[in-house]
A and B are shown apart, each in its own frame.
Chain A
């Protein structure tokens, strides 16, 4: 029972970070149909930027986190303008490869600036361990859960209540109809990238807090795929639920079965989901017509 509780909290905590990474992915996919293989590297940038502002510049953490999000959003804007916009309407392989190229460049930049050695920044999530009943769970993961949920809730509100959020949904629904209503598609794509980069930065900050500032943060980028496929590529709710399920599965598989099975379970789930329900739990089913 104790082990179950520990694994559950750890799994949910990790799952929420997956969800934060996945939400950025979903926002970009929803708005512009681009599959972003550089999502993990946006997280990586977030981790290193906050390290830069907190440790190397020495700002208080509120200012540091805000600045990190701003800079990350700026990177998102720049990437959209220079790399993605010329490729609007190109085939899927081009989109996949351009974001892979992007991922390579972003990683190289981080590596060139900060080097390969792991670093740390002062934690702003509570440290140490908390007793839940008789189970010991690490406090940072426990706190990460409501924090991530609040952020994701905020994003959901953004999509329902604000003008640009609604414009984004309109474009995802029908580009031509949205165009004829006077919505600027390039502007919405740019907003999507800025938003995705900023949420990824938050994910990166939390991740940096839990696992430390290392180049390995970018590995999370690949974990996003099982999450978004399970939840549905174009659903924010799906990203949250999918993140939680994949995080839990990983920790249960690792905790109860072992053998490094936690590395592979998400992908097995992914293949099963793809075979049974390709559009995921909450995704929109697309009917193709010739």
Chain B
């Protein structure tokens, strides 16, 4: 009887999904995603779209923070660059939405590289604080340059259309969202099987050692900033088109913190974790709000505390994960898999995926 997974050729050994069970799960997940919009209510579709956008943003942030080890508090700023670039290109220059989204991604990558420049000299905590400065500076530019960005006023984004259909309905956007999120996940998964991705990880694990074995540390960090910001910009641009309306309040430091929480709770440096974290952090306040509405009649005093409960729950989730499961939801998921892998025996598989 076969007592493990044995690959007999390189193709299966190097595949992203190496075991039939993994392919089966992926297939089931894809099927569920295809069926979902036909069954779900607009409320759930809206949440799913938010999760899709958040997944793209979280994957982007994870490339920088989880895989390259450069802590960034500038996520909100980079999303703002993506959102405003795409919105303004369509609004002022009349570019089609597809073009302006791509342009926004590259613009955000450029801004990311610019604010990644301090990583030449800084690392760890100091770099984190310099990205905090980036966040504040971008926010200031957005709110104090009304000629370009509309200042503190909201910007209305023209609705994207495909084959004459509006795309920013919950149903239409869902397909854009999951395709792009899937593509981002696939790209990220493959990135870290390539030479460039491996050098990201080498820089994270020990930058000086990485430079000794011939990795150009500074160049790698800048590339990580660019790649990460590219996807963060994509998330920002999608936010703009999905919401139809953008204002600076959507891209504050709180946004940065939210995304950091996603990758911490999901699991640093994992693709699955980015999805899990994005889902949990998006669903948590929504679920609490639903519970609050239920309580509106029976206990209005409790319902009034809703914002505090949401904020406290957000903080508690971060703290509890860091204290009890620092590797996040993706590790919990692996524990479950490992348990069933050898079920009904109690011993655990040691290494492996």
Contacts and interface: CB of A to CB of B under 8 A. Distances in A.
Given A101-B316, A267-B133, A290-B209, A96 B322 contact: no
A93 B315 contact: no
Interface size class on chain B is 35 or more
Interface residues of A, number: 41
Interface in A252-290: 259-260, 263-264, 267-268, 270-271, 274-275, 278, 288, 290
Given A103-B315, A112-B305, A225-B132, A278 B257 contact: no
B26 to A, nearest CB: 29
Interface in B113-150: 118, 121-122, 124-126, 128-130, 132-133, 136-137, 140, 143-144
Main secondary structure of the interface of A (DSSP, over half): helix
A94 B322 contact: yes
A112 B133 contact: no
Nearest to A233: B125
A104 B315 contact: yes
Contacts of A102: 315, 319
B121 A109 contact: no
B319 A83 contact: yes
A166 interface: no
B323 A104 contact: no
A108 interface: yes
A92 B124 contact: yes
B260 A97 contact: yes
Nearest to A288: B208
Interface in B253-269: 253, 257, 260-261, 264, 268
A104 to B, nearest CB: 3
Contacts of B307: 108, 111
Contacts of A268: 133, 137
B319 A275 contact: no
Which of B206, B261, B311 has the most chain A CB within a 10 Å cutoff?
A: B311
Nearest to B310: A108
A63 interface: no
Contacts of B260: 93, 96-97, 100
Contacts of B140: 260, 263-264
B312 A90 contact: no
A94 B326 contact: yes
A87 interface: yes
A91 to B, nearest CB: 8
Given A100-B260, A267-B137, A278 B65 contact: no
Nearest to A269: B133
Interface of B: 65, 71, 118, 121-122, 124-126, 128-130, 132-133, 136-137, 140, 143-144, 206, 208-209, 253, 257, 260-261, 264, 268, 305, 307-312, 314-319, 322-323, 326
27 contacts: A35-B128, A87-B322, A90-B322, A90-B326, A92-B128, A93-B260, A94-B264, A96-B71, A97-B260, A98-B319, A102-B319, A104-B312, A104-B315, A105-B312, A106-B315, A108-B309, A108-B312, A222-B253, A267-B132, A267-B137, A268-B133, A270-B130, A271-B133, A274-B130, A278-B121, A278-B122, A290-B206
Given A93-B65, A108-B308, 17 more contacts: A96-B260, A100-B261, A101-B315, A101-B317, A103-B315, A104-B314, A105-B311, A105-B315, A105-B316, A109-B312, A111-B307, A222-B136, A225-B133, A226-B133, A233-B125, A275-B121, A278-B122
